[in-house]
């Protein structure tokens, strides 16, 4: 089985870099983007299996990125990350096709098991 | 209630007290005002109706009495006319039945006199006068035979007018008399003779006294020169002059009032000219019974008014008491409800603050989590941790940075909450605004809102309640953020300036605005234009209360779909009440 390709979209660079390194140590192929445009550029370069998406991002809104991803390839699974108990945004995200959401700060084992589950779901089609 | 009535009387006696009472107890003054107003409203129509009906009744009575007097005078006048007519006719009959020669005979004349006297009362004497004015024959108590009347005025009168009724004169016995003379023409001889009778005035005055008049009233005859002809009770003796003039004589009976009579305040004077004699019948009425009847009526009316007033005041006082007590209760309930909801609103704004702060704190916590996790991961896989020393230091510094980020947030929060309770302090408005914006800058950044700060550099520091002002600012900023529309670039401008010892903060947005009809309601409690569940409807109500309490003012301008501008003005030294 090839390594799972993960795209991490978060404006907190410190957070994104540390999380990316940890995931790489756990044998994931990770790329990070700090805003919507960057994310979309990377997306076309290397289509990921799973996207970790922070909902509150300056510039292009998290929900907007989500709908762009789903437009490009509906089979790509999206996990939402949020530091905010904004129930309305989470609900909208779930309606737009996100698989799950997680509250920051996140537990790394929980995150990897969710990424794996998303990958399996994508493989099954 | 008795207390209220006592207060009302106190206010009526000393109107200035109304203000001292109103200062002490607004409900009491409201009560008194309600009572007075209601009493005036309910009793004024009563007084008006009673007064009008009193005067109306009086004028009807007066009119009625006047026509009664008029009718009596008319009756008496006719009796007097008839009395004189009867005597004139009697003399005429005698003069045409008997010849001059027959009556010149003293015996025949005496016979006629006796018979005539039996028929008509008051006859004193009877005389026959020839065309030269010499009394040829006379029957009566005096020796007047041969008296020459040719120089008397009445002789000329009777020769011209055939009948003559004289004014009253004093006879030889000092008794008032009047004379009637009739002329008998003798066309064959071309001469004439006159039959003259003297009549006692007492008979005339009987007619006047026969009028149904009161003890203070007076009825008598006068001649056209105003000389009294028959005895009067109050207006002078016979042949005396009447003390007041009578207005020009008219046909029939005239009745009018003399207000400046010498005897009484008000006198009704009625008079009528007699037909065949030179006299005027005068009746002076002083008893005026119509003035007495209204007095009884007046007392009854007064009684009714007093009873109605007492009942009215009792009822009105009860109503006012009930009304004001209800208002007082309602006001208290409302105050309780507002106090409760103010608390609820404080909790709601704390909730909003909490969710914002949670996001702020969760992000650095997430960084700490990942950095610490990475260190742990590296330690687990690496055999020689000292090789990663530089990396660990970087990660740990990053953790410290995140911790200080959290500390900034919690300190800011603590400072804010501490100031919720403190009273006045000296502070800079621009700093206060920046502190409040600190809570909102993430939201402003995420939503791509253009925030423009036009803060005056030389703003004087102000002595006021910073915590409460910041609560108001937070409320207004939140409202501006909520008003911004999705799909349109939001812009908020905050301006500060100072003028006349006042600091002014304006917050304008380009959001959905407030329609005119809703604009006047926004400061009312529980009024909200936000979606259900989003607003408590208390934010601006409480803000308004705070700013007013600090001696300031809060203004709003808005245009639907264009945006809203809130302006608060706060005095640089405000005294909290």
Q: Which two tokens stand for residue B562?
A: 């264009």
Query: What CA–CA distance (Å, rounded) separates B301 from B464?
Result: 66
pTM for the model stands at: 0.46
CA B523 to chain centre: 38
Contact by Cβ (8 Å): B527, B521: yes
Interface residue of B358, B366, B398, B439 to substitute, partner A, most A CBs within 10 Å: B366
Answer CATH for B422-577 from 3.30.565.10, 3.40.50.720, 3.40.50.300, 3.40.50.1000: 3.30.565.10
Distance between B373 CA and the closest CA of chain A, angstroms: 8
Closest partner residue to B370 among A18, A56, A57, by Cβ?
Answer: A18
Residue B164's φ and ψ, nearest 5 degrees, are -145, 130
Q: Give the pairing of strands B267-273 and B123-130.
A: unpaired
Contact by Cβ (8 Å): B328, B27: yes
First-to-last CA distance in chain A? Answer: 16
Give A103's contacts in chain B (Cβ within 8 Å): 362
CB proximity B251 to A under 8 Å: no
Query: What CA–CA distance (Å, rounded) separates B213 from B222?
Result: 18
Query: What CA–CA distance (Å, rounded) separates B452 from B131?
Result: 137
Residues 6+ apart with CB under 8 A from B366: A12, A15, A83, A104, A105, A106
pLDDT, one tens digit per residue, over B168-225 is 888 766 788 888 999 988 888 888 899 999 888 887 878 777 776 777 778 888 888 8
Interface touch B445/A86, C-beta < 8 Å: no
Q: How many residues does chain B have?
A: 577
Answer whether residue A18 shows pLDDT above 60: yes
The number of beta carbons lying within 10 Å of the beta carbon of residue A17 is 20
Interface touch B446/A57, C-beta < 8 Å: yes
Residues 6+ apart with CB under 8 A from A56: A11, A62, A82, A83, A84, A86, B359, B442, B446
Interface touch A83/B442, C-beta < 8 Å: no
Domain edges within chain B: 2-60+305-339, 422-577
Closest partner residue to B398 among A14, A56, A104, by Cβ?
Answer: A14
Q: Which two tokens stand for residue A65?
A: 């990125």
Which one, of B426, B507, B437, lies nearest residue B470 by Cα? B437
Which one, of B498, B476, B478, B487, lies nearest residue B573 by Cα? B498
Burial class (CB in 10 A: 0-12, 13-18, 19+), A83: buried
The residues of A whose Cβ lies within 8 A of any Cβ of B are: 12, 14-15, 18-19, 21-22, 25, 56-59, 61, 83-86, 103-106, 108
Q: What is the ipTM of this complex?
A: 0.88
> What is chain B's pLDDT, residue by residue, as a tens digit (577 residues)?
566 666 666 666 665 555 444 445 778 888 888 888 888 888 888 888 888 888 888 788 888 888 888 888 888 888 888 988 988 999 999 988 888 888 888 888 888 888 888 888 888 888 999 888 888 888 888 888 888 888 888 888 888 888 888 888 887 667 888 889 999 888 888 888 999 998 888 878 787 777 767 777 788 888 888 888 888 777 777 778 777 767 665 667 788 776 655 555 567 788 888 887 888 888 887 766 666 666 777 788 888 888 988 888 899 889 889 998 999 999 899 888 877 776 776 666 666 667 667 777 888 899 999 999 999 999 988 888 788 888 899 999 999 999 988 887 787 777 666 555 556 788 899 999 998 888 888 778 878 889 999 998 888 888 888 888 888 898 899 889 888 887 778 899 999 998 888 899 999 999 888 888 888 778 876 677 776 556 666 678 778 888 888 888 999 998 888 889 999 999 988 554 4
Q: Which two tokens stand for residue B526?
A: 């529980």
> If DSSP states are collapsed to H, E and C, what string results for B431-474?
HHHHHHHHHHHHHHHHCCCEEEEEECCCCCCEEECHHHHHHHHH
Interface touch A14/B442, C-beta < 8 Å: no
Q: What's the CATH superfamily of A5-124? A: Response regulator (3.40.50.2300)
Q: Give the pairing of strands B123-130 and B191-200.
A: antiparallel
Nearest CA in chain A to B381: A25
Interface residue of B356, B445, B446 to substitute, partner A, most A CBs within 10 Å: B446
**Rounded to whole angstroms, what are the CA distances from B19 to B1, B22, B38, B321?**
20, 5, 19, 19
Query: What CA–CA distance (Å, rounded) separates B519 from B505?
Result: 20
Give B377's contacts in chain A (Cβ within 8 Å): 22, 25
Give A108's contacts in chain B (Cβ within 8 Å): 373
Instruction: For residue B124, give the H/E element and its range.
Output: strand B123-130
Instruction: Write the DSSP assignment of B492-554 as a string of letters.
Output: EEEEEEEETTEEEEEEEE-SS---HHHHTTTTSTT---SPTTT--S-HHHHHHHHHHHTT-EE
CB proximity B445 to A under 8 Å: yes
Closest partner residue to B374 among A21, A85, A86, by Cβ?
Answer: A21
């Amino acid at each position: 089985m090839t390594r799972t390709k993960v795209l991490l979209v978060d404006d907190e660079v410190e957070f994104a870099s540390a999380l990316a390194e940890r995931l790489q140590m756990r044998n994931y192929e990770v790329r990070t983007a700090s805003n919507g445009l960057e994310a979309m550029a990377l997306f076309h370069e290397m289509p990921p299996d799973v996207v970790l998406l922070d909902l509150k991002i300056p510039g292009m809104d998290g929900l907007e990125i989500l709908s762009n991803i789903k437009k490009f390839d509906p089979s790509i699974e999206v996990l939402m990350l949020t530091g905010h108990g904004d129930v309305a945004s989470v609900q909208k995200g779930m309606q737009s096709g996100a698989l799950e959401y997680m509250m920051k700060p996140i537990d790394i084992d929980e995150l990897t098991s969710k990424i794996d589950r998303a990958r399996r779901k994508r493989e099954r089609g | 209630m008795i207390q209220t009535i006592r207060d009302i009387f106190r206010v009526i006696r000393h109107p200035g007290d109304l203000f001292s009472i109103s200062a002490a107890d607004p409900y009491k003054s409201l009560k008194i005002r309600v009572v007075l107003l209601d009493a005036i409203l309910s009793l004024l129509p009563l007084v008006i109706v009673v007064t009008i009906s009193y005067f109306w009744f009086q004028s009807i009575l007066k009119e009625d009495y006047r026509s009664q007097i008029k009718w009596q005078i008319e009756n008496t006048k006719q009796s007097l006319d008839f009395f004189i007519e009867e005597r004139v006719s009697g003399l005429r009959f005698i003069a045409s039945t008997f010849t001059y020669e027959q009556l010149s005979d003293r015996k025949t004349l005496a016979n006629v006199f006796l018979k005539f006297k039996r028929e008509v009362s008051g006859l004193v004497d009877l005389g026959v006068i020839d065309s030269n004015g010499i009394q040829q024959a006379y029957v009566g108590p005096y020796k007047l035979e041969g008296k020459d009347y040719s120089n008397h005025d009445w002789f000329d009168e009777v020769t011209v007018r055939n009948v003559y009724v004289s004014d009253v004169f004093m006879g030889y016995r000092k008794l008032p008399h009047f004379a009637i003379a009739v002329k008998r023409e003798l066309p064959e001889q071309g001469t004439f003779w006159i039959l003259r009778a003297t009549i006692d005035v007492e008979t005339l005055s009987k007619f006047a006294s026969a009028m149904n008049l009161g003890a203070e009233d007076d009825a008598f005859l006068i001649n056209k020169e105003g000389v009294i002809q028959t005895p009067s009770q109050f207006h002078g003796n016979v042949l005396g002059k009447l003390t007041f003039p009578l207005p020009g004589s008219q046909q029939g009976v005239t009745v009018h009032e003399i207000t400046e009579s010498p005897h009484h305040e008000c006198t009704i004077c009625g008079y009528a000219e007699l037909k065949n004699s030179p006299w005027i019948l005068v009746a002076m009425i002083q008893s005026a019974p119509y003035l007495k009847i209204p007095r009884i009526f007046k007392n009854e009316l007064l009684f009714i008014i007093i009873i109605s007033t007492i009942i009215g005041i009792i009822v009105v006082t009860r109503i006012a008491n009930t009304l004001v007590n209800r208002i007082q209760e309602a006001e208290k309930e409302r105050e309780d409800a507002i106090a409760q909801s103010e608390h609820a609103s404080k909790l709601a704004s704390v909730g909003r603050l909490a969710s914002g702060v949670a996001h702020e704190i969760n992000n650095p916590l997430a960084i700490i989590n990942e950095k610490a996790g990475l260190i742990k991961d590296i330690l687990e896989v690496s055999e020689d941790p000292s090789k990663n020393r530089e990396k660990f230091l970087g990660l740990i510094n990053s953790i410290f940075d995140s911790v200080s980020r959290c500390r900034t947030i919690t300190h800011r929060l603590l400072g804010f909450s501490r100031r919720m309770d403190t009273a006045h302090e000296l502070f800079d408005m621009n700093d206060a605004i920046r502190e409040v914006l600190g809570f909102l800058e993430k939201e402003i950044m995420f939503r791509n809102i253009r925030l423009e700060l036009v803060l005056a550099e030389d703003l004087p520091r102000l002595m006021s309640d910073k915590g409460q002002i910041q609560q108001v600012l937070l409320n207004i900023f939140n409202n501006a953020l909520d008003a911004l529309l999705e799909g349109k670039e939001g812009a908020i401008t905050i301006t500060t300036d100072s003028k006349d010892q006042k600091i002014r903060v304006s917050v304008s947005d380009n959001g959905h605005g407030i329609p005119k009809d809703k604009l006047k309601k926004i400061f009312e409690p529980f009024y909200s234009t936000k979606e259900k569940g989003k607003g408590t409807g208390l934010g601006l109500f409480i803000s308004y209360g705070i700013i007013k309490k600090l001696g300031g003012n809060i203004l709003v301008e808005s245009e639907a779909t264009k945006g809203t501008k809130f302006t608060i003005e706060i005095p640089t030294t405000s005294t909290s009440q």
